[in-house]
Structure 1
Amino acid sequence: MTTSEARRSVAPAIDFTATKAALWLSLTAFFALLVLYFVGVDQGATSVFGDNMYIHEFVHDARHLLGFPCH
């Protein structure tokens, strides 16, 4: 026989203190700016990380997809 009671799952509350929230926000912003640099700014020949085209060629199609010029 079955019962009509549904199982209840209680999700634990997320306790974000101001310090923890600021840390997550700053890490997320840093990562987003790093990705934006590699996709939108890095030109290969004028790269901050050396005179190579590896990063530029790796994100080349993403640049065009997002509307960044590179030629």
Structure 2
Amino acid sequence: MTAPAIGQSRPVPVSVSEVLPWLVGVVLFGLLLYYFIGIDEGATSVFGNTMVVHEFVHDARHFLGFPCH
């Protein structure tokens, strides 16, 4: 095997056990973000009867096409 030329790179092997925690974390974070932006309605919120989260992401909801009224 020859060394790569200057300016070229070789792929680095990464094991599944190193990537799996990051993948699970990103998926859970994405689902949580989807809940807060797309589903949380304030009055029907899983985290209490508060409109704080709804008002915080209100414009993002409309920008992404989620109805909220």
Give, in whole Å, the separation in 2 of the partners of 1:14 and 1:44.
46
**Can you give the 5+ residue segments of structure 1 that lack an aligned partner in the other structure?**
1-7
Structure 2 letter corresponding to 1:50: G
Q: Using structure 2 for the length normalisation, give the TM-score.
A: 0.80
| The structure with more radius of gyration | 1
Mapping of residues 54-65 of structure 1, within 5 Å: 54-65=52-63
Aligned to 1:3: none
Q: Using structure 1 for the length normalisation, give the TM-score.
A: 0.78
The CA RMSD measured in Å over matched residues stands at: 1.7
Give aligned pairs, total: 64
The change in CA–CA distance for 1:15 and 1:60 in structure 2 (over 3 A counts) is same
Structure 2 letter corresponding to 1:25: L
Aligned to 2:66: 68
**Can you give the 5+ residue segments of structure 2 that lack an aligned partner in the other structure?**
1-5
Aligned to 2:47: 49
Give, in whole Å, the separation in 1 of the partners of 2:32 and 2:41.
14
Mapping of residues 6-45 of structure 1, within 5 Å: 14=12, 16-45=14-43
Residue deviations 1:17-69 (CA, integer Å, cap 9, x gap): 21111111110000000000000000000000000000000000000000000
Question: Which runs of 4 or more aligned residues in structure 1 lie more than 4 Å from their structure 2 counterparts after TM superposition?
Answer: none
